[in-house]
């Protein structure tokens, strides 16, 4: 099982603070059935700046540390980019890092709103060969109030990644309910942990998959898990069946 979103790298953001913290997170991830993690430190979120070159260097040091300590685990490079008007310029300056050097790029929206330039920026990223992935849309207040806006972004080519903790209700009933709506409307493409530590922000990926299998279908479990593998291999994700698209449109009253 692959976790595409995790704050595992030490001393770069609000995730692991030491190599010991990182190792504890890796051991917890292994207990959860995770075999590889894409480390995605915050970038441009108002508190942390983590450019591509620094992340790659840190991932290399972490993997060396794991090897030296005989820990069989793989950490891959990534980045959680807060959406800004300068994002494309930073990409052209080689400061933006996609998920394991693939075509997939994590985009984080502010927690309270969707900037007016979002649709245009996501379109411009696609014109440059990137596939934007909106992380944890279920925790965005404006999208919760106006889910049709998420529908439009997905219809325009963006993908989304929901959080395992949201699926099992650890962020509260309201977020859990909206997460279920996103899943049921086929507006999500990946599940990841967004883990920051082993206490109050841990992995819960196995529990999320188990709930999806029980409440939705085993097909969706394969859909999410296989899509994560496609990302790290830089392949196109699983295409949706036309019936899934019809359900999504019906959910939002498109026809």
Residue spans of the domains in the chain: they are: 2-251
Mean pLDDT of the 107-115 span: 97
CA distance 229 to 237: 9
Assigned token pair, 130: 């990137």
pLDDT at 255 over 50: no
Q: What tokens does 238 get?
A: 């699983």
Flag whether pLDDT at 235 surpasses 90: yes
Q: Does 2-251 carry CATH code 3.20.20.140?
A: yes
What pLDDT score does 232 carry? 97
Full-model pTM = 0.94
Give the model confidence (pLDDT) of 115-173 as tens digits.
999 999 999 999 999 999 999 999 999 999 999 999 999 999 999 999 999 999 999 99
Residue 244, classified by CB atoms within 10 Å of its CB into exposed (0-12), middle (13-18) or buried (19+), is: middle
pLDDT mean across residues, the chain: 95
């Amino acid at each position: 099982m692959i976790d595409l979103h995790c704050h595992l790298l030490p001393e770069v953001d609000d995730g692991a603070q030491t190599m010991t913290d990182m190792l504890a997170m890796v051991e917890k991830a292994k207990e959860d059935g995770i075999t590889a993690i894409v480390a995605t430190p915050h970038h441009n979120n108002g508190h942390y700046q983590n450019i591509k070159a620094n992340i790659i260097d840190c991932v290399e040091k972490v993997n060396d540390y794991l090897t030296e300590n005989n820990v069989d685990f793989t950490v891959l490079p990534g980045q959680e980019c807060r959406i800004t008007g300068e994002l494309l310029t930073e990409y052209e300056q080689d400061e933006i890092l996609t998920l394991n050097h693939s075509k997939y790029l994590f985009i984080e929206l502010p927690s309270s709103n969707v900037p007016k330039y979002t649709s245009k920026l996501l379109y411009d990223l696609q014109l440059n060969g990137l596939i934007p992935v909106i992380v944890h849309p279920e925790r965005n207040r404006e999208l919760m109030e106006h889910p049709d806006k998420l529908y439009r972004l997905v219809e325009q080519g963006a993908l989304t990644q929901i959080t395992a903790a949201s699926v099992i209700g650890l962020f509260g009933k309201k977020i859990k309910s909206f997460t279920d709506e996103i899943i049921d409307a086929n507006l999500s493409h990946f599940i990841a942990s967004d883990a920051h530590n082993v206490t109050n922000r841990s992995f819960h990926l196995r529990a999320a998959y188990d709930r999806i299998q029980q409440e939705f279908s085993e097909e969706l479990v394969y859909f999410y898990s296989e899509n994560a593998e496609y990302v790290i291999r830089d392949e196109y994700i699983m295409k949706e069946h036309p019936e899934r698209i019809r359900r999504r449109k019906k959910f939002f009253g498109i026809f």
